[in-house]
Structure 1
Amino acid sequence: MNIKEIQDEIIDEFAMFDEWDERYQYLIDLGRTLPLIAEQYKTEDNIIKGCQSKVWLHGEQQDGNVVFTADSDAILTKGIIAILIRTFSNQKPADILDADTTFIDEIGLKEHLSPTRANGLVSMIKQIKMYALAFSAKN
Structure 2
Amino acid sequence: MSINEIQDAIVEEFSVFDDWMDRYQQLIEYGKDLPPIDERKRTEQYLIQGCQSKVWLDAELRDGKIYFTADSDAIITKGIVALLIKVLSGRTPDEILNAELYFIDKIGLKENLSPTRSNGLVAMVKQMRMYALAFKAKAE
TM-score, with structure 1 as normaliser: 0.98
Q: Deviations over 1:52-105 (max 9, x none)?
A: 100000000011110000000000000000000000000111000000112100
- Indicate the percent of aligned positions where both proteins have the same amino acid: 60
Q: State the Cα distance separating 1:18 from its structure 2 match.
A: 1.1
Q: Deviations over 1:16-60 (max 9, x none)?
A: 111111000000011011122111111101000000100000000
Determine the structure 1 residue equivalent to 2:79: 79
SS of the residue corresponding to residue 33 of structure 2 reads: coil
**For residues 109 and 14 of structure 2, what CA distance do their matches in structure 1 show?**
10
Which structure 1 segments of 5+ residues have no match? none
**For residues 33 and 130 of structure 1, what CA distance do their matches in structure 2 show?**
25
Contact 1:37 1:71 in 2 (8 A): yes
Query: How many pairs were matched up?
Result: 139
**For residues 138 and 4 of structure 2, what CA distance do their matches in structure 1 show?**
25
Determine the structure 2 residue equivalent to 1:108: 108
Determine the structure 2 residue equivalent to 1:8: 8
Q: State the Cα distance separating 1:117 from its structure 2 match.
A: 0.3
Following TM superposition, the consecutive aligned residue runs of length 4 or more in structure 1 with deviations greater than 3 angstroms are none
**For residues 103 and 21 of structure 2, what CA distance do their matches in structure 1 show?**
19
Please tell me whether residue 45 in structure 1 is matched to residue 45 in structure 2.
Answer: yes
Instruction: State the Cα RMSD in Å.
Output: 0.7
**For residues 36 and 81 of structure 1, what CA distance do their matches in structure 2 show?**
12
**For residues 81 and 129 of structure 2, what CA distance do their matches in structure 1 show?**
13
Which structure 2 segments of 5+ residues have no match? none
1:1-139 maps to which residues of 2 (within 5 A)?
1-139=1-139
SS of the residue corresponding to residue 70 of structure 2 reads: strand
**For residues 67 and 19 of structure 2, what CA distance do their matches in structure 1 show?**
32
